[in-house]
Amino acid sequence: MTNIDDLRERVAQACRVLGTLDLTKAATGHVSARLPGTDRVFVRARGQDELGVRYTTAAEVIEVDLDGRAIGNPPGLVAPSEVFIHTSLYRARPEVNGVVHVHPSKVILFTICKKPLLPLFGAYDPSAAKLALDGIPTYERSITITTPELGADLVRAIGSKRVCLMRGHGITTAHQSVEEAALDAIALHELATINYEAALLGDPEPISEEDQVVFRSGRESRQYSAAGDGRPGGRAKAVWRYYTALTAS
């Protein structure tokens, strides 16, 4: 398997993980990776024969340029209508090699009810805690991102962050590898799940100021830990292995 085939499979694998964890359902959502050092991108395609994000195969991952145009007319497959989420991020942020856009219902509830995602835990999941502590931007429009202009609009809302909520729509994450972008989506979903369940149970309180300082300044084990080659680094590699194994059964 060449590196290129490998990257196609890694995009498909990230789709299967996110589908298996119910971060999105049916055909909604897409995952992409930049071909290292190029202006080309592998993205999950849409097609009449597709089974949905959870069952994505490498054959359903197509190559597009930064204008969102499919390369080589893959039979029966087209770029997703929201391909501009991906291309706009790759265009604006050279350090980004992986992008995830999914529709996790638990997270969306917080944008609908305009409730913040609070830092309710620390050591339970330090990566998710840090997301909350760093602040999570929200893209206020609820429309489908079907043009380069809307893509640029979303990129402005994300700024230099790795994750973004999209009101009444979904989430977008961007990272140095497709696996880490998927891990951030999983962490965001975990943060929303705990916030949601804590609100049902009683009166959730953020962790203490003293502990917030610890997690805010804590070493980010997953952030930009690899050599910029679009592969996950450090601990992310091991965590990803676990999620990959979940999709094997």
Catalytic residues: 82
Quote the least distance from Cβ 101 to Zn ion, whole Å.
6
Q: Which is nearer to Zn ion, 153 or 220 (CB)?
A: 153
R_g over Cα of the chain: 17
Question: Which H helix or E strand runs over 78?
Answer: strand 77-78
Q: Which is nearer to Zn ion, 118 or 155 (CB)?
A: 155
* Contact positions with Zn ion (CB under 5 A) in 141-180: 170
Q: Which is nearer to Zn ion, 4 or 26 (CB)?
A: 26
Backbone region of residue 91 per phi and psi (left: phi > 0; alpha: psi in -120 to 50; beta: other values):
alpha
> What would the x/- binding string for Zn ion be over residues 108 to 147, using CB under 5 A?
----------------------------------------
Task: Give which of 98, 107, 208, 91 is closest to 156, Cα–Cα.
Answer: 91
Quote the least distance from Cβ 99 to Zn ion, whole Å.
12
Q: Which is nearer to Zn ion, 27 or 77 (CB)?
A: 27
Distances (CA, A) of 72 to 46, 79, 185, 209, 227: 15, 12, 30, 54, 31
Number of Cβ within a 10 Å radius of residue 150: 18
Quote the least distance from Cβ 24 to Zn ion, whole Å.
9
In angstroms, rounded to a whole number, what is the distance separating the alpha carbons of residues 42 and 235?
Answer: 24
Give the interface size with Zn ion as a residue count (CB under 5 A).
1
Site residues, Zn ion (CB under 5 A) = 170
